[in-house]
Every structure is written in structure tokens, then in C-alpha cells.
Amino acid sequence: MTRASNQSVVASRYPWMLLAICFLITTLTYAGMYSFGLFFKPLQAEFGWSSARISGVFSLFMFCYCMFGILTGAAVDRVGPRVTIVAGGLCLGSGFLLSGMIHNLWEIYLSYGLLAGAGMSSVYGPVMTTASRWFPRKQGLALGVVSSGIGLGTFIGPPIFGYLIPTYGWRFSYLAAGIGIGSVMLLLGLFLRKDPIQAAERPAEKVETAAERRDSRTSGVDEWSAWEVICTKPFWLFAVTFVMVGFGLQMMLAHLIPYMQEAYALSASAAAAVFSVTGAASLAGRLIMGGVSDYLGSRKSLFLSLVMEGGAVVLILLSTHQWMLYLSGICFGFGYGGHAPQFPALIRELFGMKRMGRNLGLQQIFYGSGALLGPLLAGWMFDRAGSYVAPFVIAAVVLMLAGWLGLALKRPARWDENP
């Protein structure tokens, strides 16, 4: 085999290797992120902090995760995923490491909330944008595969930390997360490339596919400035939807484990097991709904997923036995997983591919605003009422309303004015 043919084989296989790398990055990082609920009780036991104060740590983390998404979204468009994700790995690993050394509340706000949150911003938007660029004709499937890493991380993270924290302590657990997640993220990030490798030879005659025709029409939209995008109605409708999803989802993910420990007196490991099942169902939801969206459309897939998600929150509140919690968790996880790949797909459909990282980063501001308020409100309400019922009902209503709003998302009218 000649050198040129060897390079051709490597080039043809690289997109799938890149997809696997993006999958592993999301798995590891979200395993650490969505295990935060297991640190609630240990932090309260050692420092006596209220639920609202500890919830504020996760709220700040989510806010920084989304706010810094503007910078990382622009960075992946300009310098590519390698630099963006390696820099994020340094921040995320350092944030977890320093969180294991804290002695005051403000220290964990800085280490976990600010530094780790900033590092986490280099994951979602950049890996989704990168995967979408390498798989333009199988976008739904590619985004479903990559985002399924979030589900797998949610599945494996709680059992791992549910074992580490009681056995070795919460400080060691954060130190281990910082070293393990940070170093692997750095290593994997080095293998990422910016632009897809074009085929060396193209057929002389080729029938243009529907996806290619659609992509060719985005050329004018791709050149829009950030201000032009912000001035469209779809941008703000998407923003409101994103705020609502961030509010309801992150409230549930931050407080589901504490809720099960309070309402059902479950041990940390038992609560982690239920949460882990939610993560497994989320993995299935991402893969199935990611593929379904290629046929059903992103808006309808988003609607179905969010309505299921909100309905599952009601089932969680109505559960009277542990097996019912598992069933409710499966429904919640599938809906949560199902909606995840739809947002980056919709960003591309609404505003084109070229500035997808920037546009997704702009929208993450609104998701971060909702994610800041949701967990904080639930912690504040629990401190005063001693119950999670009211905030969970609010989360259910908000998620289902977000699904209805998502149906109204349409591309800007100026698309049709482009040549």
C-alpha cells in the first residue's frame, strides 16, 4: 500500500476516532460534574453550611460554565478544539484539585464554582460543534453519540463517588477527580483537529443530497455578525427556552440525590444508584432521540423529550417506593438525554454552521442564567419549608412549557432573502 493510500485510510477513519474522543471527554467531565449532589451531606456535616449556600456553589459553577461558553465557543471557531479543550482541562482539573483543599465557603466558590466552571465551559459547546462539523450529513446521530457521553458520565460518576466519599473522604475524592479527569482531558484534547479532511477525489458526477442543499443555503447566514443574530426573534425565543430548561433541569440534577436522602432516608450509595439509572436512561435517550431527530426534526424531538422530562418530575414526587423512584428516574433520564442533542442541532438549523460555536456560546448565557437560579431557589425553599415538593413542581411546569415554546422555533425570515 502506497503512502498516499495509507493517508487516505487514516483520513477516512479519523472522523470516527474524533467522535470517540469527544464521547470520552464528555463521559469523564460530566461524571465529575453531576456527582456534586453526593458532596452535599459531607460538606454540611463538616462545615454546617445551609442547603442554599451549598446550592450556590453549583449554581455559580453552572453560571460560569455557560458564561465562559461565549469565549470557548469563539475559540473553537478561531483556533480549533485542541487548544480550547486542553486549556479547559487545565482549569477543570485545577478546580477539582483545589476544591479538595478548601476550609472556607468562599474558597469552594472560587475553586469549584469559578475555576472548574470555567474549565467545564470548554466541553459542551466545543465538542458538539466539532462533531457537527465532521458529520454534516449525520448530524443528529453524531450529536447523539457525543452527548451520550454525558449520560454515561451521569451513570458511572455517582457510583464511583458514592464509593470514594464514604471510603476515603470527600477531600480525596476531589483530588482524585482533579488528577484523573484533568490529565485525561489534556491527553485526549491533543488528538483533536479543527477542520474536516476533504476527500482526495470526488466523483465526476454527484447527486446533491437534501442535507447539502440545506447547507448551501446557509452561506449568507454564516456571515452574520453576532449583533445580527441577536437582533432576530428566533434568537430570543431560543434564549427563553434555554433559560427554562437550564432552570428546571439543573435544579433537579443538583437536588435529586439530597431529595432522596431526605424524603426516603436513602443512604448515599442507594441514592447514587437511582441517580445512576437516570444517567443510563439519559444515554439511551441521547442515542435514540439523536437518530430520531434526523427524521422527525429537532423541534418535535425537543418537545417530546421535554414533556417527558417534566412529567417524570411529577412521577418522582408521586413515588412511594424505591422501585417507583427507579422507574421515574428512567423516564426523567430518557427525556433529559433526548433533549440534549437537539439544542446544538437547532443552533445550526437556525443560524448556520460557520459560527456555530459562537452562536451556541451566546445561547449558553441564558442557559447559565436559568442554571444559576434553579438550584439556588430549590436550596432556599428547602431551608425555609423543609421540603422539595414546591420547587420540584415548579421545575416540572417550567420544563413542559419549554417544550411547547420549542415548537415555535423557526429560522430567521432573512434566510429566505439570501441568494
Is 179 inside any structural domain?
Answer: yes
Is 44 inside any structural domain?
Answer: yes
135 secondary structure, DSSP code: -
Is 144 inside any structural domain?
Answer: yes
Alpha-carbon distance of 127 to 29, in angstroms, equals 12
CB distance 149 to 27 below 8 Å = yes
Q: Across residues 175-201, what is the average pLDDT?
A: 78
**Residue 245's CATH number:** 1.20.1250.20
| Position 170 pLDDT exceeds 90 | yes
CB distance 305 to 335 below 8 Å = yes
- Predicted confidence at residue 220, as pLDDT, reads 54
pLDDT in tens, 295-348: 788 888 889 999 999 999 999 999 888 888 899 999 998 998 888 778 877 887
State the CB neighbour count (10 A cutoff) for residue 73. 29
- Predicted confidence at residue 104, as pLDDT, reads 94
| Grid cell digits, residue 130 | 466539532
More confident residue, 170 or 287: 170
CB distance 158 to 38 below 8 Å = yes
| Position 397 pLDDT exceeds 50 | yes
Cell 457525543 maps to which residue? 146
| Position 369 pLDDT exceeds 90 | no
- Predicted confidence at residue 62, as pLDDT, reads 83
Is 2 inside any structural domain?
Answer: no
pLDDT band of residue 207 (cuts 50, 70, 90) is very low
pLDDT band of residue 134 (cuts 50, 70, 90) is confident
Is 85 inside any structural domain?
Answer: yes
| Position 3 pLDDT exceeds 70 | no
pLDDT band of residue 95 (cuts 50, 70, 90) is very high
- Predicted confidence at residue 222, as pLDDT, reads 61
Cell 483530588 maps to which residue? 175
| Position 190 pLDDT exceeds 80 | yes
Domain count, the chain: 1
| Position 264 pLDDT exceeds 90 | no
CB distance 147 to 291 below 8 Å = no
pLDDT band of residue 208 (cuts 50, 70, 90) is very low
Per the structure, the complete domain to which residue 164 belongs is given by: 14-194+224-410
Cα 325 versus chain centre, distance? 23
pLDDT band of residue 96 (cuts 50, 70, 90) is very high
- Predicted confidence at residue 221, as pLDDT, reads 62
Is 211 inside any structural domain?
Answer: no
Is 7 inside any structural domain?
Answer: no
More confident residue, 108 or 285: 108
Alpha-carbon distance of 160 to 142, in angstroms, equals 27
Task: State which H helix or E strand residue 208 sits in.
Answer: none
Q: Across residues 148-152, what is the average pLDDT?
A: 81
Is 59 inside any structural domain?
Answer: yes
Q: Decide: residue 331, CB within 10 A, 0-12 exposed, 13-18 middle, 19+ buried.
A: buried
Q: Across residues 352-360, what is the average pLDDT?
A: 70
